Structure 1
Amino acid sequence: MTKILYILLLLCAVGTTMAQTKQPIPRKSYTTRALGNTPAPVIDGSLSDEAWNTVEWTGDFIENLPEENTLPIEQTKFKVLYDNEFIYFGFKCYDKNPKEIVKRLSRRDGFEGDWIEVNISSHNDKLTAFSFAASVAGVKSDGFISENGTAWEGNWNPIWYLKTNIDEEGWTAEFKIPLSELRFSNAPDQVWGLQSTRRYFRTEERSLWQRIPLDAPGWVSEFGELRGIKGIVPKREVELRPFLVSKMENYPAEPGNPFKTGRNYDLNAGLDAKVGVTNDLTLNLTINPDFGQVEADPATLVLDGFQVFYPEQRPFFIESRNIFNYTFSDSQDNLFYSRRIGRTPQGWVSSGENSFVAMPDNTAILGAAKFSGKTKSGWSIGVLESVTSREYAKINQAGNEHKELVEPLTNYFVGRVQKDFNNRNSYLGGMFTSTLRNIQSANLDFLHTSAISSGMDFMHNWKNRKYYIRGNLLMSYVEGSKQAILATQQSMTHLFQRFDAKNVEVNPERTSLTGTGGRLVIGKASDGNWRYRAGVTWVSPELELNDVGFLRQANNIRQEAFASYVTLKPFGQFRSVEVYLDQIADYDFDGNHNNLQFLLGTNATLKSNWTFGLQALYKPVNYSISALQGGPRVRNSEEFFKSFSFTSDSRKKFRYNGAVYSNKGKNNSLSYNEFNFGLVYQPVNAFTVSVIPSYALNKNKAQYVTQNQLADGSRYIMASLDQKTISAAIRFDCNINPDLTIQYYGQPFISQGKYVAFGKVANPTARNFEDRSSLFTKDQISADLINNAYLVDENIDGNPDYTIYNPNFSSVQFRSNLVVRWEYIPGSELYLVWSQGLSSYGRPENDLLDGLSTEILNGKPQNTFLLKATYRLSKHVKHKHL
C-alpha cells in the first residue's frame, strides 16, 4: 500500500509542476429573439418563413476532425428562435455538389450519412446537455449527455419535430423542440450552453460551431453560449402511455405434459406514465410493464462459475441511468444493477416420477416508480421504488396439480444524490439501496430477507479540469437465515470455504454479513498529448451487492497505473494514433500477490478511415483464489496475450471488420484463439445487412471439473479441456421511412467441449506446472458407459472411491428477434415482434457443425408472436414563480 501512495503522490507532483498556462479559447455567443406576434415557422425544411428573418445567422464553423483548428471543406450556419412553447433551429449546410450528399436511411439514432447536431446545456452546468441531430434523410437522433461528455444516453427519445431539404446550395434542416423536453430554471433572463456539430460524410470530417481542441478537458464545459431567452416559464409535462399486448407462443408439444400443449395465448395491458413534478424533476411510473420488443441477450456458456453481466435494454430502467450509476471499479461492479429487478425466479422445484413442472420465465414487475432529474442548483436526484410479485411453479403429479413458491414478493429501493459545487469542478454524492423479501416458504430460505448497501463518492478537478482526483467508499449489510448466509459465504463471489484462507472462514451460525469497499484515483485528463492515472481499489471479503447490485468477486485489492500518448494532428498516413501502457497488480486480504500484468496497446485511424488496434499483455504473476471454486489458491502459468483488430472505412456500402485474439500459457498449459470477421453490406440507402461469425478454440490442461469429499480430505478434480465454439450475429435493418423500420437479430451458438487426462490437484501453488496436479493412471480411472461417468479407484483396491460424471458437453442455442416498429404519431408506437428461441444439448462426440444442422436447422424452436400498441397522451402545465 505504501508503494501505491508514493505513486499517487508522485503523479500529482509531476502533473502540477508540468502545468502550463494556455491561452483561453474565446467563447462564442449567439443572441436569439422571441417570435412575439410573428407566426411560428412551418417545419418543412425550407427556411422560407418570415420568422427566420427576425434573427441573424451565426456560423464560422471550425474543423475538429481530422485536423483540429483548420477551415472545414464546407461551411455551416444556423439561426435560433423561440416562443412560449418551442425553441426552433434552422440550419444551412453548404455543399458545392448537392448531388453527392449521402442520404442514408436508418432507424432512430442511426447517425448515417451527412448529419447536423445541436447540443443544448439548458442548465449551463458544464456537465450535462441534451442532444438533437438530423440526418439529411430526415432521421432523428437524440440523447442525453452527462459527465462532461464522457457518458451518452442514446435511449432517451424525446418528442420533437424535424424536416430536411436538399437544394442547389446544399441542404437545410429545421428543428422544432418543445421546451417541455428541456430542463431549465425560472430565471427571467436565461443563458444556456450551446454547441453544433456537422458531419461531412464524404471525407468523414467533423466541424464545430464552438471550437473545442482535441486535448480539451471535456465537452460540455467548453460550449459556447445561447443568450436572449427571456420570460419563458418552465413547464411540467404530464404524459400517459397506455399499452395493449397480444402474445401467442408456439412450441413443440410434449406428450402427456399438461403444461406443454404446443400453444399459449395471452392478452395483457399496462401503463407507463411520466409526470413533471418540477421542470427539473420527473416522476416515471410503470404498471405491469411489458418489454417484449426488447432485443434478446446474446448466447453464452460459462465454465468458471461466475455470473454473466448483461446490459440493460428495458426503456423504463435506461432513462436517467446516468443518475443511478455507481461504479466503483473498471469492471461492471455497481451498487445498482437493474437486471436484478424482474429476474428469472431463483427458486427451484424437485420433481418426482410422473410429474411435470412449469416454471415462470421471469418475475413480474407489479409496479415501479422512478423520481429523477437535476436541478439548476446542481443537485442530481434519483429515487427508484419497485415491487415484484410472488412467482409460483406449477406442478402436476399423477394428474394432481399444485403450485410451489419460487420467488417471494420483493421490494427494491434505490436512492441517489449528487451535488455539483466549486463552479461545477467538484461533486459529492451518495447512494443507498435496499432489497426486502417476504419469504414465506422454507424452500426459499437460501435468499436474503434484507440487503442494504450505501456509498459516497466525490470528484475534484483543478487547473481548468486538467487534473482530477475521484474516489468512493461503500458498504453492504445482508441479513437472512443461517442457510442464506451460509450460501453467501460459500458462493463464487466469496468462497470462504477455502481451507488455505487465513482472513475468512465459514461460520454456519451467522445470520448477517457486513462488508466494505472503495476506490481512489488521481490523474491527468487533458492539455497536451499525455494522459495518465493511478489508483487503488479494494473490496473486502464480506462485501455482498448481488441482491440489487453487481459484484463479481470480493476479497481483492487492486493497484493500477495507466499512461497514454495521443496525437493531436494528422501525420503521414495517420489521422490519429494512441499508444497506452497499463499495469495492474492484485492482492487478496491474506496479503497474497495474485496477479501482475502489463498491457501495451495502440489504436490508429488512417486517412483512409480504416482503424486498427493492437494489444500485448504479459502476466508474470498469475494466481487464482476462485479457479477451484472453493478449493485452495492455485497457481496458473505465466500468460502472454495478443490481439489485433481492424475496421474498414465505415462510409462504404460494403465494409468489414475483423479481430484475432490469442492467449498462450507457459509450458503449453493453456491456449485460447478466437477469430472474428464481420461483413456489412448496404446495397441501398434504406437497407443494411450484416453477418459477424466467430470461431474460438480453447485448450486448458488444468480445467476445473468438480470436487469430492472423502474421509481423508477433499479431492479437486482437473482435466485437459478441448473446447470449440462457433457463433454468428446476424442483423438486417430495413427502413421504409424514418418512422417505420424493420429490424432482425439472430444468433446461432454452438459450443462443444471434450475432457481427457483427468487428475487431482496435488500441490496447487507449485512453480512447475507438472507438479500442480497428479494425473490418474489407467488403473485408477475407468469409464462407466451405462451411467455416462468415470469411476476413480485411487488406491487400486478394486473398490471405486468416487464418481466423476462425464463433463463433456455440446451446447446449442439459437435466439432471434424480428421487430417491426411504426411510430404512427409522435410518441405513439405499434410493434409487431416475432421471437425464436432454442436451447438443446447435442452429442459431444459428433462434429461441431452437426449441431448446426441437426439441432438448429432441423430443430423445433419456441416461437413467440407479439403485437403491442402504445398511445401517448400528453399535457403541459406551467410552473408558477414562487
Structure 2
Amino acid sequence: MHNLINYAWLPILFFFGNISAQETETTSQNFPKRSYTTVPIGAKEAPKIDGDLTEPAWNLVEWTTDYVEFEPDNATPPTEQTKMKILYDEKNLYVAFKCYQKNPATIEKRMGRRDDFPGDWVEINIDSYGDDRTGFSFTASASGVKGDEFISNNGNFDGSWNPIWYLSTKIDNDGWTAEMRIPLSQLRFSSADEQVWGIQSTRRYFNNEERSTWQPLPANPPGWVSEFGELRGIKGIKPQKQLEIQPYTVGQLDTYEAEEGNPFRDGSDPRLTGGLDAKIGVTNDLTLDVTINPDFGQVDADPGAVALDGFEIFFQERRPFFVENKSVFDFTIGSGADNLFFSRRIGRSPQGSAFGPTTAFVDQPNNTTILGAAKFSGKTKDGLTVGVLESVTAKEFADVIDADGSETEELVEPLTNYLVGRVQQDFNNNNSYVGGIFTSTVRNMDENVSFLHSHAYSGGIDFKHNWKERTYYVEGSAVLSNVRGNAQAIARTQTSLTHLFQRVDADHVSVDPTRTQLTGTGGRFEFGKGGGGDWRYAIGGNFKSPELELNDIGFLRQADDIRQYAVLRRLFNKPTSWYRRANARVNLSSAFDYEGNYNRIQYEIGGFINWKNNWWSDFGAAHKPRIFTNTFLRGGPRWRYNEENYIFFFSGTDQRKKLSFSGGTVQSQAKQDNFAFREYDVGLRYQPLNSLNLSLNVNYSENPSKTQYVTQQDFNGTARYILGAIDQETLSTTLRVNYNINPNLTIQYYGQPFIFKADFSDFNFVNDATAEDLNNRITHYETDQIRLENGEYRVDEDRDGTIDFTFGDPDFAFVQFRSNLVVRWEYIPGSEIFLVWSQGLNGIGDPRNSFSTIVDNQLLSQKPQNTFLLKATYRFVL
C-alpha cells in the first residue's frame, strides 16, 4: 500500500499550499447584514392576493429597496430597482414586490410549468430554521408562474418540493408587481415567542440577464443561506402542524399488438386503481409523509442507453414521493453516483425469472408493487436533521403456461422491507455538522429467489467543518456494509462485476464458496477552499474495499478502488469588454486497487466563458497516460488500454432569445488506434409564443475499438479471452413541446427515438493483458482459424481441423422509441387532473443496415404499445 502516493501529486500539493498561504492574507469583500422589520395584522386586514398593492394593510410597513447587482457586474447598482414589503398574521406570511421597469412593454411574460422560472421573475428565500444551511424559496414570474424549492446544504435547490401557496402578478405603468400569501404551515420554525429568520430576495431582469439581490453578496459567496439578511418583528406565532391528505384514482388502458396463442398478450389490459398520499406535521419541525399503493407516473421516460461494459446504467429518480427531500437521505461515498441510498431499488423490476426449458408463455410484472411507504423527516430548532424512510414491497409472481398447457405461478421477487435512517447535527454556530446513516434490506426468502441476499445492512458517519467565514472546509465520511445470505447468494456477489474476486491475477481476493456474509468498508476525505477571493481548490480521495456491497438499497459501480484527486479553479467575475464571467480549471486524478496496482492517472484542463452577448462556451482537454482496469475481462487479468487524449468543446447562443442553438463535440483518441470516441450534439430551442416552446436535441456518437470484449472460452484447459474490433454507433433525438394555456393548465410532449448498433470484426484473443504495445497485448485470428456459420463463429485455433470452441455472432442493433403526451390541470392549489398518452416500442435491428433503414424496418413498421391514463387527485388541507 506504500505505492499509493503518486509523486506526480507533489507539485500540486506544493502549489495548493502556496495558494492557501497567499490568500490567507486577502480578505473577501464584506457586506453588512441587512435587516427588515415586519408587523402583524389581523385576519380581517389581510390583503387580497390579486397583484394590486392598494389594500390599507400594506401601508403598515415601509418598502425596503436598494437591491444590488449580483450578476454579472457584482456590487454595482442594478439596471432596474426592486422594492419589497412583508406582513404576517397568525396563519400566513404576506410578501409584496414592486419591480420597476422603465418600459413595461419590455417585460418578458413567458409562460411555463411550475418551477420553469421563465422570463422576468422575483423571489424570496426564507431561512425560518435560522440554521444558515436550509431554506424555503418562493418565486413569482411576471406571467404568474410559480416556482418553489427547498434549499439544503447551504445552496442545493430542490424543485421537487411543492407547497401550497398563493400568487398573483400585474403589469402597471411602473413595471410589474407580485403579491404572495405563504401559509405558515408550509414553513418550519421554532416555538420561540420572537422569531428571527434569515431572508434573501433575488430578481431576474430578463433584458440584461441580470440578477440583483436584496442582501448584497460577493461574486462567489462561500454559501447561499449563510449569507442571508434578517427578518425581524415576528412575534407570538404558533408552529403550524401540517395535515394534508391527497387521495387519487387512476384509470389506465394499455393496448399493444396481440400475440397469437398467447393468452397474456390479447391486445389490451384495462385497470382501475386508487391510492392515498398524506403529509402529517408531527411537530412543526418534523413531517410524516405516507403513501399507500402509490402511483409513480412521470412525463420524461428514462433515456435510451446501452452499456457494453456490463455495468448497470444509472438513471435518475423521478418519482415524487422519493424525490421530495431526497437531499436528507443522500450519503455519497465517492465520485459519480455511488451512494448508500438509491431509491430506485424500491419498486425495482423483479430480479427473478420464471422462464424455464418447458415454458411456453410468461406474464411477468415489470415492476415490484410498493404496498406502502412512509417518510419521517425534518429539522429541529436545535439543528438536528432527521430522516427515516420505511417501505414494503410485495411478493411478485409471474404467471407461467408450460408447453403442455399447465398453468403455474413462479415467485420472482420476495416480500421485502426497506429502511433508511439519517441524522445530522449542526454545531459551532452552524459552521459544522456531524451525521450518520443506517440502511437495511430484509427479504422474506423463498427457494426460488435464494440467489438474493436475505439481509443487507450499511451504515456510515460523515462530517463537515467550515472556518474563516466559510472560506475553507474539510469534510469526510466512513461507511460499513454487511450482506448475508446462503452460500449461493454470497458467491454470486463475490463473482459479480462489481467485485470480481475470481480475478486470475489478484492475490488479495479469492472466491470462498462457503461464505454466508461479506463485510466491507469505504469512505472519503476532502479539504479545500470554497469561498473568498478568485481561487477555489479541493484535494481529497475516496476508497471502497473489495468486500463493500451496497446494491440492495444503494448504488455501487465498482468496489476494490482507491481514488485521489485535486481540483484548482480560477474565477473571473468582473465583466470585461468581451465576457460577462469566466472560469478556468485544472484537475488531476489517479486510481489504485487494494493490491496496490497503479491503475490510472489523468490530467485535465478546461474553462467556461459567458460572452458579452450572453453566448457561452465550455471547453477542455485531458491526457490519460496510464489506463488499467480490473473489470474489462470479467474476471480475467488486469487489462491495459493505450494512452488516451481527448478534447471537448460545447457552445450556445443566448438562451433568452426566441430562437437559440447549442452544439458541441467530444473527440477522444488512443494511441495505436486502440479505441476512439467521437460525439456530436446539436440542440435547438424555439419559443414562437410566450405560451409555447419547443426544443430538439440530436446526439450522434461513434465508439470504435480494436479490443471490445466478446466472451471467454476454454482452449486446451486454459481460458481464452476473445475480443473483437467493434464499429459502434448511437443516434438519439429528443423532442419536447410545452404549451402553457395558463400557469395551471399545461400540455407537455416528450419523445425520443434511440438507435444503437454494434458491428464486430477482426476477432482476436488476449496474449499479454498488460503489455504496453497493443500488438503484444493481443493476437489476431487468421481467416483460416475462424469462420461464421449459421450465426455462430467456429474457431480452429490450432489449425488441426477440429473446432476448438464456438461463440455466437455478437453483432446487434437495438432500437427504441418512447413518448409521453401529458395534459396537467391544477384546478385548485395542490389538486390536479392528468391526461396521459404514452407510447413505447423496442426492437432488434440488423447492424449492417443504415440508421434510416433501421428506422423504416424496426420503428415505423411496428405497432407500438400505447398507454392511456386518467389520473385525478384532490388535496385536503386540514
Q: TM-score range by the shorter chain?
A: over 0.9
2:838 is the alignment partner of 1:832: no
8 Å CA contact 2:733–2:753 kept in 1: the answer is: yes
Contact 1:12 1:523 in 2 (8 A): no
Q: CA deviation at 1:551?
A: 0.4
Distance 2:83 2:29 in 1: 26
The amino acid across from 1:438 in the alignment is N
Residue aligned with 2:212, SS: strand
Q: Determine if contact 2:30/2:218 at 8 Å carries over to the other structure.
A: no
Q: 1:58 aligns with which of 64, 81, 94?
A: 64
For residues 708-737 of structure 1, the C-alpha deviation after alignment (integer angstroms, 9 at most, x for no partner) is: 134521111100000111110110001011
Check the 8 A contact 1:645/1:659 in 2, yes or no.
yes
Indicate yes or no: 2:376 matched with 1:371: yes
TM-score normalised by structure 2 residue count: 0.98
Match of residue 193, structure 2, among 176, 188, 197: 188
Structure 2 letter corresponding to 1:473: A
Structure 2 distance, partners of 1:182, 1:585, is 45
Look up the match of 1:90.
96
Report the counterpart of residue 732 of structure 2 in structure 1: 727
**Deviation string, structure 1 residues 216-257 (Cα, Å, up to 9, x no partner):** 211111100000000000010111111101010000000000
Per the TM alignment, residue 145 of structure 1 is displaced from its structure 2 partner at its CA by: 0.8
Q: Offset of 1:756 from its aligned partner?
A: 0.3
Task: Please say if 1:561 is aligned against 2:566.
Answer: yes
Distance 2:251 2:185 in 1: 33
- Give 1:292 deviation, angstroms: 2.3
- Cα deviation for residue 848 of structure 1 reads 2.2
SS at match of 2:59: helix
Contact residue 621 and residue 647 of structure 2 kept, 8 A: yes
Which of 209, 215, 218 does residue 213 from structure 1 map onto? 218
Could you tell me which residue of structure 2 aligns to residue 282 of structure 1? 287
| 1:26 lines up with 2:29 in the alignment | no
**Cα displacement (A) at 1:648:** 1.2
The 3 A distance-change label for structure 1 pair 623 and 855 is: same
Residue 407 of structure 2 is matched in structure 1 by 401
Tell whether the 8 Å contact from 1:121 to 1:194 is kept in structure 2 after alignment: yes
Residue 389 to residue 732, structure 1, CA distance change in 2 (3 Å): same
| Post-superposition CA distance 1:790-840 (Å, at most 9, x none) | 001111122111111000011000111111111111111101111111111
In structure 1, distance between residues paired with 2:180 and 2:650: 39
| Whole-angstrom CA distance in 2 between matches of 1:812 and 1:18 | 54
| Aligned equivalent of 2:825 | 822
Query: 2:786 and 2:147 mapped to 1: Cα distance?
Result: 63
Cα distance in 2 between the residues matched to 1:601 and 1:370: 41
Paired position in structure 2 for 1:879: none
SS in 2 for 1:235: coil
How far, CA to CA, are the matches of 2:17 and 2:242 in structure 1? 46
Q: Equivalent residues in 2 for 1:73-112 (5 A)?
A: 73-112=79-118
Quote how far apart the aligned CAs of 1:164 are.
0.2
In the TM superposition, 1:378-457 aligns within 5 A as: 378-397=383-402, 398-441=404-447, 443-457=448-462
Question: In the alignment, is the contact (CA less than 8 A) between 1:292 and 1:866 conserved in 2?
Answer: no
Summarize the Cα distance change of 1:22–1:250 in structure 2 as closer, same or farther, 3 Å threshold: closer
> 2:221 matched to 1:244?
no
CA RMSD of aligned residues (A): 1.4
- Deviation by residue 1:380-430 (Cα, 9 ceiling, x = unmatched): 000000000000111112332111000000000000000000000000000
Q: How do 1:222-241 residues align onto structure 2 when only pairs under 5 Å count?
A: 222-241=227-246
Q: 1:319 deviation in Å?
A: 1.1
Alpha-carbon deviations, 1:293-314, whole Å to 9, x = none?
4431111111000001111100
Report 1:658-737 matches (<5 A).
658-737=663-742
Identity across matched positions, percent = 52
Give deviations 1:16-52, integer Å, cap 9, x for gaps: 5631345631111000000136510000001011110
CA distance in 1, matches of 2:552, 2:806: 35
Provide the rounded CA distance (Å) in 2 between the counterparts of 1:608 and 1:516: 50
- The one-letter amino acid paired with 1:508 is P
Shift of 1:783: 1.0
CA distance in 2, matches of 1:410, 1:659: 45
Shift of 1:14: 5.5
How far 1:850 moved relative to its partner? Answer: 1.2
The structure 2 residue matched to 1:462, chosen from 451, 458, 467, is: 467
Q: Which amino acid aligns with 1:250?
A: T
The amino acid of 1:400's aligned partner reads S
Q: Unmatched 5+ residue regions in structure 1? A: 876-882
Q: Please list, as runs of the form range in 1=range in 2, the aligned pairs for 1:841-852 lying within 5 A after superposition.
A: 841-852=844-855
In structure 1, how many angstroms separate the alpha carbons of the residues matched to 2:220 and 2:680? 35
Cα distance in 2 for residues equivalent to 1:683 and 1:24 = 44
The answer to which of 37-46 and 11-20 deviates more is 11-20
Cα drift, residue 291 of structure 1: 1.1
Equivalence map 1:150-549=2 (5 Å): 151-353=156-358, 355-397=360-402, 398-441=404-447, 443-549=448-554
3-state DSSP class of the match of 1:849?
helix
Q: Is the 8 A contact 1:38 1:51 kept in 2?
A: no
The aligned counterpart of 2:614 is 609
SS in 2 for 1:141: strand
Contact 1:212 1:219 in 2 (8 A): no
Shift of the alpha carbon at 1:858? 2.1
Secondary structure of the 1:53 match is helix
- What is the SS of the residue equivalent to 2:851? coil
Task: Give the match for residue 69 of structure 1.
Answer: 75
Change (3 A) 1:354 1:390: closer
Task: Tell whether the 8 Å contact from 1:107 to 1:139 is kept in structure 2 after alignment.
Answer: yes
The match for 1:864 is 867
Aligned partners of 1:8 and 1:535 also within 8 Å: no
State the distance in 2 between where 1:835 and 1:874 align.
32
Counterpart residue type for residue 486 of structure 1: A
* Distance (whole Å) between structure 2 residues aligned to residue 454 and residue 8 of structure 1: 32
Q: Which residue of 636, 642, 648 corresponds with 2:641?
A: 636
Residue in 1 aligned with 2:806?
A: 803
Count of matched residue pairs: 871
For residue 114 of structure 1, the aligned residue among 92, 110, 120 is: 120
- Structure 1 715/46 Cα, relative in aligned 2: closer, same or farther at 3 Å? same
* Partner residue of 1:646 out of 635, 647, 651: 651
Does the Cα contact within 8 Å between 2:27 and 2:533 map onto a contact in 1? no
Q: What letter is aligned with 1:190? A: Q
- How far is the alpha carbon of 1:784 from its aligned partner? 1.2
Task: Judge conservation of contact 2:299–2:750 (CA < 8 Å) in 1.
Answer: no
1:587 aligns with 2:592: yes
| Preserved CA contact (<8 Å) 1:250 1:864 | yes
Cα gap change, 1:3/1:460 in structure 2, threshold over 3 Å: closer, same or farther?
A: farther
Equivalent in the alignment of 1:878? none
Q: Are positions 1:39 and 2:45 aligned together? A: yes
Kindly indicate whether the alpha-carbon contact (under 8 Å) linking 1:351 and 1:357 is maintained by their aligned counterparts in 2.
no
DSSP-derived class of the 1:770 partner = helix
Quick one: which amino acid aligns to residue 159 of structure 1? I
C-alpha distance in structure 2 between counterparts of 1:431 and 1:195, whole Å: 32
Q: Work out whether residues 108 and 140 of structure 1, in 8 Å CA contact, stay in contact via their aligned partners in 2.
A: yes
Instruction: Name the CA distance, whole Å, in 2 between partners of 1:175 and 1:725.
Output: 48
Q: 2:583 aligns with which of 563, 570, 578?
A: 578
Deviates more, 1:723-732 or 1:840-849: 840-849
Distance 2:805 2:723 in 1: 14
For 2:643 and 2:445, how far apart are their aligned partners in 1?
47
Contact 1:783-1:791 at 8 Å conserved across structures: yes
Which amino acid is the alignment partner of residue 44 of structure 1?
Answer: D
Separation in structure 2 between the aligned mates of residue 770 and residue 860 of structure 1, nearest angstrom? 48
SS, match of residue 680 in structure 1: strand
Corresponding residue of 1:759: 764
Equivalent residue, structure 2, for 1:137: 143
**Cα distance between partner residues in 2 of 1:437 and 1:129:** 38
